Amino acid sequence: MSDSRIPGRDPSRLRSQRWFAPDDLRSFGHRSRLRQMGYAAEEAEGRPVIAILNSWSDLSQCHTHFPERVEQVKRGVWQAGGFPLEIPVLAVSEMFMKPTAMFYRNLLAMEVEEVLRSHPVDAAVLMGGCDKTVPGLLMGAISADLPAIFLPAGPMLAGRYRDQRLGSGTDVWKYWAQRQAGCLEPCVWRQLEEGIARSAGTCMTMGTASTMAAVAESLGMTLPGASTIPAVHAAHARMASGCGRRIVEMAWSDLRPSRILTAAAFENAITTDMAIAGSTNAIVHFLALAGRAGVSLSLDHFDAISRRTPVVANLRPAGEFLMEDLHDAGGLPAVLTRISHLLTLDCLTVNGRTLGENIAGAEVIDDRVIRPLSNPLSPTGGTCVLRGSLAPHGCVIKPTAAEPRLLSHTGRAVVFDSYPDMKARIDDPASGITADDVLVLRNAGPLGGPGMPEWGMLPIPKPLLEQGVRDMVRISDARMSGTSYGTCALHVAPEAAAGGPLAVVQTGDLIRLDVEARRLDLLVDESEIARRLADWQPPARRSNRGYARLYHDEVTQADHGCDFRFLERGGGPGAEAEPEIF
């Protein structure tokens, strides 16, 4: 079938025609191999070729419904006159990859970019959801700059233990602390294991997956309402076929990410992130996405937006509810309606309409879940940026997930040189650690981890847990899970392994945290810090081969998004994408 008689649908303008249209030997090969795959000419040629990039594997625990969803996306593509082809990409599994899934985000992004560039593809549906798959897919698609639509995996059902609803991560940390304190029977722990993850889908607290899905929607990269639909809800299957139908139209109209991802779209998404008290991880991903899109963004933008944005979504870990409650309360369009005075409403989105058009008529159905502006969960945003002598290039903290009394605190540093060092010593009853001390973990950043693992919510020492202590000030160059909580200053930059002051903190030094003043300071004389740094030696590269070597040599610090230097783009929104080079 050819759509050449429909205005604006001239197959000769499709990128895939470079492979299939010419009457030459090479194109004979391409067409004959489509026949080999069982496709007749009228099924494939003259139609937009839609790549469905599926980040599924038998080890991608949150994407177990994707084999079914792929078929529903294909259904939509066929209905709209496209030619769908599934292309598997790296299934970055948050729960099973070591040292951390974050280490492989950039590898997924590179794979996505190259898969799209090298194949006869006109447009793509990006299927992801588990934490790093969202930024990885989007980063690659931004760099390839072909029309793309994101289909979020959707959150899993609420967890259950007896009469209690369990939230991914958040309740695990809570019950683990109880178990360490000797207040939880092993059989209860095993029952929690059975009930905490009850279906396909992503973590159903406002962790990194839920945050990044909301980011994708508020950037304009999903269909309206897509980010909160539970993974096993029938509406999710309908959203999948809807993505399939829409992407064909996007291919014909050449609606590329570079037309959607403007500076204003990023500001909308950061505002949304603050209003939902999103994961601290989002900041690293925002910086990487903006770097790909050529949008100038720094940590200071986040703090400025945080100061003016109330937290209205009452979701764990900062609040009370879970993602299916948010969906039933009206979903993200309802959240956006509530903060619409803070948004730029004329930003273009993947359905060809503006953000304002998409949320017109959206309604908040439950004020307990999406709080009114007169009664927000917090009057200012979910994440703050701190600077000071311990974090000259910045660090982040999520005050909504911390004990308020600790947000202004001075204490004695107790330093752990690495994660194994911390594990070996943290629970030692002879350590003398008190609740007023400040726990410091270093060599856990982008280079040190490597990959900046989610070690930043250092465990409370067991002797203190037994005394009832549940929060302490903790500082690291690591990240923490979006489902975590506590007074944790994270992403300290420069990290210790790159020679930041964190590298030379000594046990016994005093550290002052002052979130109101946005400061994190090592209370040691400047000349003494300089003397210690002059004696400091950088650690050796962890691996001399393969991807690990590339990662070590090219990864940027947390305040630049931890992308590879050679993949950032400085051209600004709308700048020309990489020309076809082969």
Q: Give me the residues that bind ligand FES (CB under 6 A), please.
A: 62, 94-95, 130-131, 168, 202-203, 207, 209
For residue 320, the tally of other CB atoms under 10 A from its CB is 13
Shortest reach from residue 276's CB to ligand FES, in Å: 15
The candidate with the shortest Cα–Cα distance to 151, out of 61, 59, 55, is 55
The residue with tokens 């029938």 is 234
| Token pair listed for 59 | 């080890």
Shortest reach from residue 188's CB to ligand FES, in Å: 22
Shortest reach from residue 36's CB to ligand FES, in Å: 37
The smaller minimum CB distance to ligand FES, of residues 69 and 512, is found at: 69
The smaller minimum CB distance to ligand FES, of residues 241 and 481, is found at: 481
β-strand pairing of 123-128 with 49-54: parallel
Q: List, in sequence order, the alpha helices (H) in 53-149.
A: 66-79, 105-118, 133-144
The smaller minimum CB distance to ligand FES, of residues 44 and 102, is found at: 102
| Token pair listed for 460 | 């409370």
Shortest reach from residue 238's CB to ligand FES, in Å: 22
Return the biggest CA–CA distance within the chain: 81
Shortest reach from residue 218's CB to ligand FES, in Å: 19
Question: d(Cα 303, Cα 299) in Å, to the nearest integer?
Answer: 7
Residue 180 in 3-state DSSP? helix
Question: d(Cα 83, Cα 14) in Å, to the nearest integer?
Answer: 12
Shortest reach from residue 186's CB to ligand FES, in Å: 24
Q: List, in sequence order, the alpha helices (H) in 387-429.
A: 419-425
The smaller minimum CB distance to ligand FES, of residues 153 and 558, is found at: 153
Shortest reach from residue 204's CB to ligand FES, in Å: 9
The smaller minimum CB distance to ligand FES, of residues 213 and 348, is found at: 213
Shortest reach from residue 168's CB to ligand FES, in Å: 6
The smaller minimum CB distance to ligand FES, of residues 416 and 485, is found at: 485
At position 270, the amino acid (one-letter code) is I
Q: Are 53 and 125 in contact (CB under 8 A)?
A: yes
The residue with tokens 């392994």 is 497
Question: d(Cα 140, Cα 116) in Å, to the nearest integer?
Answer: 9
The smaller minimum CB distance to ligand FES, of residues 131 and 267, is found at: 131
Q: What is the CA radius of gyration of the chain?
A: 24
Residues 6+ apart with CB under 8 A from 197: 61, 156, 159, 168
The smaller minimum CB distance to ligand FES, of residues 95 and 530, is found at: 95
